[in-house]
Amino acid sequence: MKILGIETSCDETAATVVADGRNLLANIVASSVDLQKRTLGVVPEVAAREQLRYIIPVINESLKKAGISPADIDALAVTVGPGLIGSLLVGVETARALAFAWQKPLIPVNHLLAHLYVNWLSDSQPTLPGIALLVSGGHTELLYFESHEKIVWLGGTLDDAAGESFDKVARLLNLGYPGGPAVEQAAEKGNPYAFNFPRPMINDSNFDFSFSGLKTAVRLAVKNPSPMKLSTEDVAASFQSAATEVLVKKTFRAVREYRVKSLLLGGGVIANKFLRRAFLDYRERNQLNLDIHIPPLLLCTDNAAGVAAAAFYKGQSEPWQTVAANPNLSLCTK
C-alpha cells in the first residue's frame, strides 16, 4: 500500500511516498529557512506564500523520485494540525483537491503523531506499549503509547516548549536562527558545569515540564557577566545540559512507572546530538532493558514521511469534504 504524505504545518513544504508504513520511497522537503534567517524566525504570512509556490513542485518531485504516477497511490495523507493556519491550509486544501481529482481516500494526520511515527520507517520497528517524548519548536509532550488506537497524554510544558527555549537562548547569545543547531554547535566548545542553571520540575512526581525559568536564568547570566568575561560557549553548554537533564530524567520516570520496553523520541530537538547521547547513556548507566527509537537527523525536523507512516497505522480515511485544518489540534486526553 502506497501513501502520499503532505506536510505544511509550519515553514517546511514536504511530500513523501511511503510503502506499507515502513519503506520510504521518496522524501522531499523544501524549506524557507534562508528567508527566516533574515527575520530571525518564521513570519507566518511569508511562510504560507512560499509554501504556495513549493507545494505542487514538491509533490511532483516526490512522485517522480518514487517512480510512480498518481494512479499508483492508494491514499493521500495530510497534516491537519496543530500548526500555523495559513501554512496548514496550503497542504490541506491541496490534499483535498487531489483526493477529489484522483478519486483517492484522504487520511487526516496530527502533526505531533507524525513526528513520532517516523520511528516506524525502520527495520527495527517499535513494539507497543511504549513511552514517547516529542520535543519540537512548539511542543514538549510525554505520551503513553499503549497501541496505535490508544495514545494517552501524560504531560507537557507549562510554558515554553523545549525547542522554543533553545531558540530564545540562541537569541540571547546572538547565535542566529534556527537556534537549536546554533546552541548545539556553541555548546560543543563549552563547559557544561560552568553555570549551575536550574532544572525546573525535575523531581516533581508529574510528567510536566517548564522551561521559562531556565531561559530567565540564562538571560540573567548574560546580562550580569561577573566576575569574568562571559563565555558564550559555556552558557550554551550549561543551558543544553540543564534542558537535557530534565528531559531525560522525566522521560525515564515515565518509562519506569509504565514498565514499558520501548521509548520513542521525535521532534526537531531530538536532532541534538548531546540529547540523543544522553538518552543512550542513561539506559546504559542504569542497565535498562529498553529499546530506544531515535529517528535519523533528517526525520527529526518537519517532514512528510511520518505523516504517511501515521496514516498507514491509523488507516481511517475521511471524505475530502469534511477534512479541515485545525491549528489547535491537540493530543491531550487527560
Binding of residue 302 to Zn ion (CB under 5 A): yes
Integer Cα distance of 17 and 75 in angstroms: 10
Taking the complex as a whole, the smallest distance from the CB of residue 136 to Zn ion amounts, in Å, to 4
Query: Closer CB to Zn ion, residue 7 or residue 184?
Result: 7
- Reading phi first (left if > 0) and then psi (alpha if -120 to 50, else beta), residue 260 is in beta
Helix (H/G/I), strand (E/B), else coil: 64: helix
Stretch that binds Zn ion, among 86-94, 102-110, 133-141, 280-288 (CB under 5 A): 133-141
Q: Is the CA virtual torsion 47, 48, 54, 58 positive or negative?
A: positive
Residue 141 binds which entry of ligand KG4, Zn ion, none, CB below 5-8 Å type-dependent? none
SS3 content of the chain, % helix, strand, coil (to 5): 45, 20, 35
Query: Closer CB to ligand KG4, residue 209 or residue 320?
Result: 209
**Owner of C-alpha cell 540529547:** 275
Residue 50 binds which entry of Zn ion, ligand KG4, none, CB below 5-8 Å type-dependent? none
Give contact residues for ligand KG4 (rule: CB under 6 A). 10, 115, 136-138, 163-164, 166-167, 178-181, 184, 267-269, 271-272, 301-302
Taking the complex as a whole, the smallest distance from the CB of residue 265 to Zn ion amounts, in Å, to 13
Taking the complex as a whole, the smallest distance from the CB of residue 318 to ligand KG4 amounts, in Å, to 23
Binding of residue 11 to Zn ion (CB under 5 A): no
Taking the complex as a whole, the smallest distance from the CB of residue 206 to Zn ion amounts, in Å, to 24
Residue 80 binds which entry of ligand KG4, Zn ion, none, CB below 5-8 Å type-dependent? none
Taking the complex as a whole, the smallest distance from the CB of residue 254 to ligand KG4 amounts, in Å, to 20
Binding of residue 136 to Zn ion (CB under 5 A): yes
Closest CA to 59 of 19, 10, 106, 98: 98
Stretch that binds Zn ion, among 132-140, 183-191, 196-204, 317-325 (CB under 5 A): 132-140
Query: Closer CB to Zn ion, residue 81 or residue 130?
Result: 81
- Reading phi first (left if > 0) and then psi (alpha if -120 to 50, else beta), residue 306 is in alpha
Contact criterion met (CB below 8 Å) for 197 and 214: yes
Which set of grid coordinates corresponds to residue 184?
548545539
Binding of residue 79 to Zn ion (CB under 5 A): no
Query: Closer CB to ligand KG4, residue 10 or residue 172?
Result: 10
**Owner of C-alpha cell 527495520:** 123
Taking the complex as a whole, the smallest distance from the CB of residue 181 to ligand KG4 amounts, in Å, to 4
DSSP sequence for 106-160: EEEEEHHHHHHHGGGSSSSPPPSSEEEEEE-SS-EEEEEE-SSS-EEEEEEBSSS
The residues that touch Zn ion, with contacts defined as CB under 5 A, are 136, 302
